[in-house]
Amino acid sequence: MSIPLQIIFRGLLPSATTAAKIRKNAEVLNRYAGRIKDVQVVFEQLHWHHHPGNLFHLSIALTIGGHEIVVGGELAREDADIAINDGFGAMLRRLEAMAQVPDPDRAPSIPLHGTVKHIDTGSGFALVETPVGRHVRFHRNSLEGCVFDELRPGTPVRLDAFDRDTDGGPLATKVRALVPHHPSAAAVRTGVDQGAEI
């Protein structure tokens, strides 16, 4: 692969065969090679007295877009090949989840859908959760199609534009609430939104 790959063996002797399998599995990361700075893979054989036989554990740490991602906390397997496959599968899913939120530094932005998770009326910010579990903030001034004070958790929204938040993450700057229009109580009484003759 075109990105630096460091393989560390712990609890067992280095194996050329295992290293080759790790490098082969690491090819799934090639699509992100332009953004990944380095990859460190630790392949470990665990010796637990309360578990018959050996367990193999694979952890992966890499840096992408200035952020470090680590997977492998629960990836202990009785089969070495499965441990390797599961480890890189978990890392690929993490990277794909990150890709669901557009990078503010890259244009053009693409629309993203999610649901409102939390609303802070005091600060005027709300938090949106995407289908893959990523969180994106937006300010009340960015909301269209709904009054911010009437927004509720679970409301589906579409995020159309992004900027950089104070913590370096994405901040939605154009948000549309995807809810049917419900006229206000005052409007219903006067018949304005109903087209009624008054």
Give mean pLDDT in consecutive 10-residue pieces for the chain, a chain of 198 residues.
Answer: 82 93 88 79 78 80 78 77 90 74 50 85 88 80 90 88 66 83 41 35
Number of domains into which the chain is organized: 2
Rounded CA-CA distance 63/141 in Å is: 34
Cis peptide before 156 (omega within 30 of 0): no
Which of 99, 115, 147 delimits the end of a domain?
Answer: 99
What are residue 171's phi and psi, to 5 degrees?
A: -125, 120
Give residue 48's domain range: 5-99
pTM of the model: 0.51
Same structural domain, 125 and 150: yes
